Amino acid sequence: MAEIQSDINTLLAWYKKAGRILPWRSYWPDLTPAYPVFLSEFMLQQTGVSTVIPYFRNFLERWPTINDLADASIDDVTAAWAGLGYYARARNMHKSAQIISNAGGIFPQTVAELSKLPGIGPYTAGAIAAFAFDKPSIVIDGNIERIIARYFSLKTPLPALKSTLPPYYQKMIPKRNRSDFPQALMDLGNEICTTISPACTHCPLSQGCLSAKTENQALLPNRLVKQTKPTRKGQIFILRHKTGDAPEYLVYRRPAKGLLGGLIAFPSQGWDDKRQGFDPNWRPFKADWVEVKPVIRHVFTHFKAEIKVFVSQVETTNSKNWDDAFQPNNETNNEQQDMPEFEWISEADLHLPKLMEKALQATTHY
């Protein structure tokens, strides 16, 4: 427990420095007044942050208080909402504003009371209680779900995982600074503990994170891929060089027939041939390869792939050097012994299939 709270303190310090500046957000000890939280949470229920910002500003300018919003006509409110979609949210927001206004314009502060208002479910109620009133309420969105699953290395598959998360979340809630806490987790999920490439070496939770210790981050949360699909293991090798501002990558076009046929790819081994599995001796070129952690995961129609990614940075773009250094040392793999034609392509011109794109994203911090 002490270790968890020490990690949370580090998280909150990180958030003070790296958290997003959003028009409805204040940093503890300041709390955002309930009305802007209420507005923004209704808008964010099914819409992304960047779309919501101009709508939020417009609503706050036209109807600066909950009473102003309650007094507005529903037609004006829905007209101002146009473009955000899911109009039931606008109607519920307006009805809730009227109920709060009729109660003297005072917002309820508990999750139980907030949840009685139209359009406010447990998540939105938890968010308003935490952000506006510093309550220790449960606020678990997709980002936070992923972080908790990884931090405690929870292997229960989704969707059953969801109902098991609140007690773990409660263990993480700090005694002070509770309004910042869920927002810090959300930003961490956006920036560091991302779905595809968690950057554990930069993560303020890394001391106590069980997934970081056991290196199963990329497998969590467990999405329960159909058990009938076998798992193939393999490796992808990303060679880059940097002249000027933009890096270039060494790639080749895969044979027209077969997996990812005719597409641009990085050299790889194991996942796409008959002799599947990590082969620690297989390297496409002589280079100082650095293993990227954790492994990445991808689901094909007939199998799942677990891929180790390696990256190396080189000074020269002389492709002849790389041709000479090609080492097809997997003797049983005849397909790999045909020399593919490699070329350097800048990042802007790389049009990669999803698996290769995931591998490239995983190297962002290397």
Residues 148-167 that bind ligand SF4 (CB under 6 A): 150-151
Asked if 239 contacts 250 with a C-beta cutoff of 8 angstroms, the reply is yes
Q: How far is the CB of 41 from ligand SF4 (least distance, A)?
A: 24
- Give the closest residue to 66 by CA, choosing from 99, 90, 44, 43: 99
User: Residue 22 corresponds to which tokens in the numbers above?
Assistant: 């959003």
Q: Is 74 helix (H, G, I), strand (E, B) or coil?
A: helix
Please pick, from the candidates 32, 124, 183, 206, the single residue that binds ligand SF4 as defined by CB under 6 A. Answer: 206
**Measured CA angle at 199 (ends 193, 205), to 5 deg:** 60
Q: Where does this chain touch ligand SF4 (CB under 6 A) — which range of 17-25, 143-151, 162-170, 325-333?
A: 143-151
- If the CB atoms of residues 53 and 196 are measured against ligand SF4, the closer one turns out to be 196
- If the CB atoms of residues 177 and 206 are measured against ligand SF4, the closer one turns out to be 206
Residues 168-197 that bind ligand SF4 (CB under 6 A): 192-193
Q: How far is the CB of 364 from ligand SF4 (least distance, A)?
A: 13
Continuous H helices in the chain: 2-18, 34-44, 49-62, 66-71, 74-81, 88-102, 111-114, 122-133, 142-151, 160-172, 180-191, 210-214, 319-324, 334-337, 354-362
Beta bridge mates, 242:
247
Residues 207-246 that bind ligand SF4 (CB under 6 A): 209, 211-212, 217
**Per CB under 6 A, does 96 bind ligand SF4?**
no
Please pick, from the candidates 11, 93, 172, 200, the single residue that binds ligand SF4 as defined by CB under 6 A. Answer: 200
Q: How far is the CB of 310 from ligand SF4 (least distance, A)?
A: 19
**CA separation for the pair 362, 102 (Å, rounded):** 52
**Measured CA angle at 115 (ends 114, 120), to 5 deg:** 95
- If the CB atoms of residues 39 and 362 are measured against ligand SF4, the closer one turns out to be 362
- If the CB atoms of residues 59 and 152 are measured against ligand SF4, the closer one turns out to be 152
Residue 201 is classified by DSSP as: G
Size of the site for ligand SF4 (CB under 6 A): 15
**Burial of 120 (C-beta count, 10 Å sphere; 0-12/13-18/19+):** buried
**Count of alpha carbons within 13 Å of 1, Cβ hemisphere only?**
6
- Give the closest residue to 8 by CA, choosing from 152, 205, 170: 205
The catalytic position among 3, 41, 335, 341 is 41
Please pick, from the candidates 205, 251, 295, 359, the single residue that binds ligand SF4 as defined by CB under 6 A. Answer: 205
Determine whether 306 is an active site residue: no
Please pick, from the candidates 44, 117, 147, 307, the single residue that binds ligand SF4 as defined by CB under 6 A. Answer: 147
Q: How far is the CB of 215 from ligand SF4 (least distance, A)?
A: 9
- If the CB atoms of residues 217 and 312 are measured against ligand SF4, the closer one turns out to be 217
- Active-site positions read 41
Applying CB under 6 A, the residues found at the interface with ligand SF4 are 147, 150-151, 192-193, 198-200, 203, 205-206, 209, 211-212, 217
